[in-house]
A and B are shown apart, each in its own frame.
Chain A
Amino acid sequence: MFSDSVQSLLSTPWDPTTPARPPFDPLAVDALAAWSGELRTATAHPDVQALAFWLRPAHLAQLQRDYARPDGAPALGRGTVFHVTPGNVALTFAYSLATSLLAGNRNVVKLSSRDFPEVTLAAAALDRTLTRPEFGELAPGQALVRYDAADPAATRYFSSLCDVRVLWGGDATINAIRAIPLPPRATEVTFADRFSLAALDAAAVLAAPAADLARAAAGFAADALQFDQAACSSPHLVVWTGAPATVAAARDRFWPPVYQAAARYPQPPVRAVDKLAQQMADALTHAGARAEPGPDNSLVRTWFPEFPADAESIRCPGGYFAETALPDLAALAPHVTPKCQTLAYFGYPQAELRAFVTTARPQGIDRIVPLGRALAFGPLWDGYDLWSALTRVIDLQ
C-alpha cells in the first residue's frame, strides 16, 4: 500500500476501503480503552500515563456525553484523516488520532522523525491493541507512518486520498504542506505555532487559602515546565491584574510555591544560560525591564513596567517568564493578537471571563482554562470544535 520510503509502525496493512463509523462507535471506544490499558502497564513515563488517563473509559464516556448532538442527526466520520503531527510534544499524535478515531475516521498519522521513546512505547501499545482479534475490523483503517519530511511525495500521496488533513506545526511547515493540493471536497484543520499566557487576579491570590494557592502554583509549574515551555499552550507571559500594591503582595505570595513545584521538572544546565541571556536581551531592548530575584534558576522572571508590545516573541524554553500588570482583565484584550491560544487564569469569576470574550472581544485566545489545565487536550482546541471538523453530519428529514 505504501511506498518503500514510508515506514509503517503498525503491523496490520492499511486499507482505505475500511468503512467510516459513527462517532463513539463502541468498537472504537473499546479499542481506545484497551489502548489505555496497554499504556498503563507499559511504562511509568508521566506523559504516557497522562495519555492512558485521558483514554480511560470514564473520560471517553464523558467525551461522549459532551458530544451528544441535540438535534439527533446521524453522523459518520468524514473518511480518511491525514494527521501531520509535531515534534515539540511527543504524544500529540496520540490525542489527534484518538479524537479522530472517536469521530469515526480512518487515520494516517505521520509521526515526527524525532525519535521519542514515549512515541515508540505508545505506538507499540497501539499495535498490540489493534492486532487483537476483536479489533480486526478497526485495525486496517489505522496507520502510523514515518518518512523523510524533505520528500514531499509521501505527503502528496496521503493528501491526495484524505478527506481531512490535520496539520500540527510551525507556520513555515504548515505553509509548505498547504501548497500540496487536497481533493476538492477535503477540508483542513491547522494547528499553527501559538503563544500562550497566564492571568492572575492579585486580590484573589492574596485571599486564596494556602492549599488552593499551592495547587494553582503546582498547576502553573506543570503548564509551563512539563514540556520545557515548548508546547503551544505553555504560558510565557504572566499578567497580573489589580492595584500595584496588591499585585506586588500577590507576586510575593504566588512565586515561592511555584519555585517549589518547579523542582519536579529537572532542566539541562544550558537552560540557566539560555534564560540569563534572554533576560539580558530583554533588558537591553525594553526600557525599565527588571530582573526579578529568585532562589534559583529553575524560573527566571523579568518584570516589564509597560505591557511589552512584542510580548509574543518574549519566550525562552525552560521556565522564563515575562511579568507585567494591568488594572483588570478587560485591559488585556487590546494586547491579544490572533496568535494567542491559551489563557490560563486564577481568581476570575466565570462572568468576568465570559465578559472578557464577549464584551472586551480579544482578537485571539481560543482557550480559557484554570492554571494547571493549559496542556489538557480536548475536542475544543485552537478555536475548532473537532467533533464538527472530523464528522459528516447527515440531514435526515
Chain B
Amino acid sequence: MTDLADFHAAEPFGLPRAAKRPLLTARLLELTRHHAAQSPAYRRLLDALGVDPDQLETLEDIPFLPVRLFKQFDLRSVGEAEIRAALTSSGTSGQAPSRIYLDAPTARAQTQALARIVATVLGPRRLPALFIDAQATLGDRRAFSARAAGLRGFSVFGRDVTFALDGDLRPDWAAVTDFLERHAGQDLFLFGFTFLVWRFLEAARADGVALDLGRATLIHGGGWKQLADQALTDADFRAGLGETFGLRRVFDYYGMVEQAGSIALQCEAGRLHTSVYSEVLIRRPADFSIAQPGEAGLIEALSALPLSYPGHAVLTEDRGVLLGEDDCACGRQGTAFAVLGRLDQAEVRGCSNVL
C-alpha cells in the first residue's frame, strides 16, 4: 500500500482535475484491492456483484457500499488487535449506530488530512477555540458519538478550547465572555454543530447578549435536519451570524463518521469543495448512473483515507448536486457541490404497521 505522501504534499484545494483524478483513482483502486484482500466480507460483496478488483479502471467503477451497511455489519480490514478506536454514529433516530473501526494508520491519516484541510481557513497557527457545545458531550473516551468525534477531531486545531454551552446545552455566557476577554484582539476559532450554533445565536438574541465575533472563523457541520422546521437556509444562517455577532468567516463542512477526516469544506462563495483526499459523485437513483452537473442525485462519497475498514466508496442517503469543477470564484480547485438534504425516508409499510 502506497502512503499518502503525495496527498499530504499537495495543496488540499490546489489540484485541478487533471492532477487530482489520476492520484485519487490510483489510491482508491489500490484501496479496493486492499480491502478485497483483507476483508472477507468486502471480498464477498465484490464476488456477489461480479466485480474483479483487478479489472476496475475508474472511480465510477468502484462498488459503493450503502452507509447503512456499516450499521448492520462489522466491516473491517484489520484484525481486532490492531483496532485503536471505534467511531459510532447514531444516524437516523431508531437505527443502529454505524461502527467504524480505526487502526493507528487510518486514525493518523484522518488527523493529518483534517489538519491540512482546516488549515486552509484557520491558517497554520492554533487559535484560541470556542466550541459551541458542552464538555459533557465528549463523554466516554472509547465509544465516540459523531458529535464527540467531531469535537475531538477539531479540538487539536485550537488552543484554550472553551465550551460555550452548559450540560443542558444552554449558553454559559460567563464562560463565553471570559474567553473573549482572555483573547481580546486575537483571531479566534469557533466550532460547532450547525443547529447548536443557530440555537446559540437565538439565545444571544433572546438574552440580549452582544458578542463581537468579528475576528472569529466558524467551522460548522452536521447538517440542517434539526433546523428543518425553521426552513433555515445557508444564506439565512450566514446573514444571521453576520448581523448578530459580526461573524463573517463561516464555513460549513460535509463529512460523515464513515469517512472522518476527509471532509468537504465550504468556500467564501458558499459552495462545498472536495479536497485532494476525497471526491463526490452524484448518482441517479433510477439506475445509479452518474448525474449531469446541476442534476440532483444521491451523493456517493469517496475517500483516500480508510485503510482499516472498507469505507472508501460509500453511497450516502443525502441528496446533492454537482455545481462545478475547478471553476469556483473562490479559487479552489476540485469539485464544488451542494448538499440538498437527506432522502425522504419513505415509510416502510407492512402488515406489521397497522395502527
Contacts and interface: CB of A to CB of B under 8 A. Distances in A.
Contacts of B286: 272, 296-298
Contacts, number: 121
A291 B350 contact: no
B219 to A, nearest CB: 29
Interface of A: 84-88, 112-113, 149, 168-173, 191-194, 227-228, 230, 232, 268-273, 276-277, 279-281, 283-284, 289-291, 293, 295-298, 302, 317-318
B77 to A, nearest CB: 15
B298 A273 contact: yes
A165 B341 CA distance: 45
Given A273-B317, A273-B343, A281-B73, A227 B354 contact: no
A281 B285 contact: no
Contacts of A192: 351
Contacts of A230: 348-351
B44 A284 contact: yes
Contact of A173 (B317, B348, B354): B354
Nearest to B296: A269
A273 B315 contact: yes
Contact of A276 (B47, B315, B344): B315
A289 B48 contact: yes
A272 B283 CA distance: 11
Interface residues of B, number: 33
Contacts of B49: 283, 291
Contacts of A228: 346, 349
Contacts of B343: 268-270, 273
22 contacts: A86-B354, A169-B355, A173-B354, A191-B351, A193-B350, A193-B352, A268-B344, A269-B285, A269-B343, A270-B343, A273-B298, A277-B68, A277-B69, A281-B69, A283-B47, A284-B73, A290-B48, A291-B48, A297-B285, A297-B287, A317-B350, A318-B346
A88 B354 contact: yes
A277 B41 contact: no
Q: What are the 3 closest A-B residue pairs judged by CB atoms, nearest first? A: A170-B352, A149-B355, A283-B48
A228 B350 CA distance: 9
B281 to A, nearest CB: 14
Given A113-B355, A296-B287, A273 B346 contact: no
Contacts of B50: 290-291, 293
A304 B298 CA distance: 28
B353 interface: yes
Contact of B349 (A88, A191, A291): A88
A283 B285 contact: no
B253 to A, nearest CB: 23
A172 B44 CA distance: 35
Given A269-B298, A270-B346, A284-B45, A86 B351 contact: yes
Given A273-B317, A276-B288, 7 more contacts: A87-B354, A170-B351, A193-B351, A270-B343, A273-B343, A281-B73, A290-B50
Nearest to B352: A170
Contact of A317 (B45, B65, B349): B349
Interface of A is mostly: loop
Contacts of A172: 352
A138 B220 CA distance: 64
Nearest to A90: B349
Interface string B155-194: 0000000000000000000000000000000000000000
A279 to B, nearest CB: 8
B346 A268 contact: yes
B66 interface: yes
A298 B287 CA distance: 8
A146 B85 CA distance: 51
A85 B65 CA distance: 38
A87 B348 CA distance: 11
Interface in B92-150: none
A272 B66 CA distance: 10
Interface in B267-308: 285-288, 298
Given A284-B44, A317-B348, A87 B355 contact: yes
Given A272-B288, A284-B73, A194 B351 contact: yes
Interface string B54-70: 00000000000110110
Contacts of A232: 351
A295 B288 CA distance: 10
B355 A88 contact: no
Contacts of B65: 280
Nearest to B48: A283
A88 B298 contact: no
B2 interface: no
B169 to A, nearest CB: 30
A170 B350 CA distance: 8
Contact of B352 (A171, A293, A297, A317): A171
A106 B319 CA distance: 50
Could you say which of B73, B288, B350, B353 has the most chain A C-beta atoms within 10 Å of its C-beta? B350
Could you say which of A86, A173, A273, A283 has the most chain B C-beta atoms within 10 Å of its C-beta? A273
A361 to B, nearest CB: 26
Contacts of A170: 350-354
A367 to B, nearest CB: 15
A276 B49 CA distance: 11
Given A269-B285, A270-B346, A280 B352 contact: no
Interface string B329-341: 0000000000000
Contacts of A280: 45, 48, 65-66, 69
A284 B45 CA distance: 7
B132 to A, nearest CB: 31
B345 interface: yes
B72 interface: yes
A196 to B, nearest CB: 11
Could you say which of B45, B286, B319, B352 has the most chain A C-beta atoms within 10 Å of its C-beta? B352
A270 B342 CA distance: 9
Given A280-B45, A290-B48, A297-B286, A273 B66 contact: yes
A284 B310 CA distance: 14
Contact of A112 (B47, B315, B355): B355
A169 B355 CA distance: 8
A169 B346 CA distance: 20
